[in-house]
Copies of this chain bind each other. A is one copy, B any other.
Amino acid sequence: MFAPPVKLTDRQQELLAYLRQHQREQGVMPSTRDIQRHFGFSSQTAAMSHLRALEKKGVIQRHPHKARAVVFPEDLQREEIVDIPLYGHIAAGYAEMQQQEPDGTLSLDAATIGVNRGSKAFALRVRGESMIGVNICDGDIAILEVKEPRPRDIVAALIDGETTLKRYLVENGRAFLRAENPAFPDLMPDEELQVQGVLKTLIRRMD
C-alpha cells in the first residue's frame, strides 16, 4: 500500500531514526524503557506518546499490549529478502561451495531476482568478454540458481577445475558450452559436464 511521504517533526524524526538504529544493531525493537533511557526522558510515557504520534502519522504500526512490537509498514510490505553468497573463486560443486566462506553477500528481494527463499543460489563475478554477444560484461555480478539446466540456458559450469559462464547446449545427446562471442571456442568437457547453476539475474554497477 503506497503512502506518500508525511511531515514529521524534528523530534519525531530522531525517534524514528533511533527505532531503525536499534533494530539494525540489536535485531529487535526497543521497549518504551529502552527509548526512555536513550533519550534521557524522566518518564517512559514520553516514549509512549511519541510512538502514538508516529503511529498516527502512519510511519510505524504497533501491536497493542505486546512488548517490542513496533513495526515499520515497509517491512511488512517488502518481498522476502534473500541473502546470496558471492564467491570469488569456485572450483567445486554446490555442496562444497556451501562450506566455503564467500567473498561477500548480496541481499535482494526474491521477486527481483526470480529465486525463492528456499532455493539454493549463489553469485559470482563475470570474467572476460566471452558472453559479450548477449551484453554480459566483464565485472558483472551473475546470480545463479542451483538447478538442472535446459538447453540454451546460460550456466556456470566446471571446466578443467575452473568455473566458467557460458551457454549450455546439447547436440547428439552431448552437452557442451558455447560462448556468446565468436572469438571463443566451444568447450567440450572430457567427462560429464558439471553444471553449478543456471543464470537468473545480472547486476552491474555503473558508477
Taking Cβ atoms with an 8 Å cutoff, the residues of A that contact B are 2, 4-5, 24-29, 31, 61, 63, 66-72, 74-81, 83, 98-99, 101-102, 105-109, 112-114, 132, 135-137, 141, 153-154, 198-207
Contact = CB atoms under 8 A, between A and B. Distances in A.
A22 to B, nearest CB: 11
A140 to B, nearest CB: 9
A1 to B, nearest CB: 9
Nearest to A71: B27
Contact of A107 (B71, B79, B105): B79
Chain A contact residues: over half helix, strand or loop, or mixed?
mixed
A178 to B, nearest CB: 16
A81 B69 contact: no
18 contacts: A2-B101, A2-B102, A27-B61, A27-B69, A28-B70, A66-B68, A74-B83, A77-B105, A78-B105, A79-B107, A108-B108, A112-B203, A114-B205, A114-B207, A135-B136, A135-B137, A153-B207, A203-B203
Contacts of A77: 105
Nearest to A136: B135
A178 B137 CA distance: 21
B78 A83 contact: yes
A168 to B, nearest CB: 13
B107 A112 contact: yes
Contact of A132 (B74, B76, B135, B154): B135
Contacts of A199: 206-207
